[in-house]
Amino acid sequence: MITRGIFFRHVLREMGACTLGVGVVLLVVLATYQLSFVLGRAADGQVPGTMVPELALLALRTSLLVILPFALLLGVVASLGRLYHDNEITAAQSCGVPGALLFAAAGVVTAVAALLAFWAAFIDGPQAARHAVAMRTEAQRSAVVRQLVPGSFRSLGQGVTLYFGAIAGDGSLQDVFLQRQLPDDIATTQVVVARSARQQLAAGGDSLLVELNDGSSYEGRPGAADWRTARFSSQQFSIALPGGSLRGPPRVDGLGTGELLRSGEPRQIAEAHWRLAWVIAVIVLGLVAVPLGRLRPGQGRYARVPWAVLLFALYAGLLTAGRTMLGRGELPLAAGLWWVHAAAAASGCWLLRARS
């Protein structure tokens, strides 16, 4: 019993350390990709540079759900490959340690990974998705303000055109020209010439607040002679900005699970199945990794890693295809993605029988 306990802790430590190491490497690779992707958006002017780190982190949090089963599968297979290659498992089994102990150790690591996957799927992932959508929408709304440059006429939407000659050290606009249609009478045009102006986004982000100082206002209908002229020391009004919206169909990854299940729409039901599928995938792959990681005498310690990568690629591909078909109504909603898990579990049973 003492030998079994020592060996169990040794295997558990090996699986846990290897899984953690693989997970960190995958996170670094994915973080690099997400950072470069968001930097590309910032270079195109879609998002401000100050949002880049946070948007990259949010994208990484939404991708954690897919990383976990892959890291677990590779970690368990790679750790078993080392133990088999160094004949540690063979020596332990010759001392009477049962093979079920390997499943027990993998089960502990899998349970921890499954809890983390559940948290990422149903709690943190949707929150990160909602926050990312809100930030990108705000960035689109404020893009008009970021694109204001001295010496050029800029349309702010809804018949508003702004021009200014320079930006002072305190951030105010100098030598301002503004033309707009009045909200209560769109046939009437207002032209404002001011020495300086200050602008900022409203609290809701849906309008631009402009305060003009020391200027003149001209109101009238183009072609008519009854224009009204007024001098002012300060004048303030708001300009409605175009509503920010992301391209493509409405996002469902930020909705709560209860809202998804109550909707009854195929896309939202498919999203609920998708979240649950990755939690189940952690459990299935964590246990399938034990027979998959078994080596024959003379095989290299990483001989089973390519097979693990292929298995995950097929698993993830079937889950993605199933989610797409569910969202389009091409599969019965009751079927969900259970058939993918059944196929993966069946492959695990086949491996167990073939290697027993």
Average pLDDT, the chain: 83
User: What pLDDT is attached to residue 280?
Assistant: 94
- Compute the chain's Rg from CA coordinates: 30
pLDDT above 90 as % of the chain: 24
Band of the pLDDT at 144, cuts 50, 70, 90? low
Q: Could you tell me which residue, 280 or 349, shows the higher pLDDT?
A: 280
pLDDT of 1 higher than 90:
no
Residue 66 CB neighbour total at 10 angstroms: 19
173: exposed, middle or buried (Cβ count in 10 Å: 0-12, 13-18, 19+): buried
- Using the predicted structure, report yes or no on whether residue 93 has a pLDDT greater than 90: no
The pLDDT of residue 199 is above 70: yes
Express each pLDDT in 294-333 by its tens digit: 888 778 888 999 999 999 999 999 999 999 998 888 888 8
Q: Are 80 and 289 in contact (CB under 8 A)?
A: yes
Query: How many other C-beta atoms lie within 10 A of the C-beta of residue 171?
Result: 9
Burial 220-231 (b: 16+ CB within 10 A, else e): beeeeeeeeeee
Strand 160-167 to strand 228-240: parallel, antiparallel, or no bridges (unpaired)?
A: unpaired
Digit-coded pLDDT (tens) for 110-120: 999 999 999 99
Low-confidence winner among 77-81, 188-192, 274-278 (lowest mean pLDDT): 188-192
Between 169 and 165, name the one with better pLDDT.
165
Domain map (residue ranges) of the chain: 2-143+248-354, 159-240
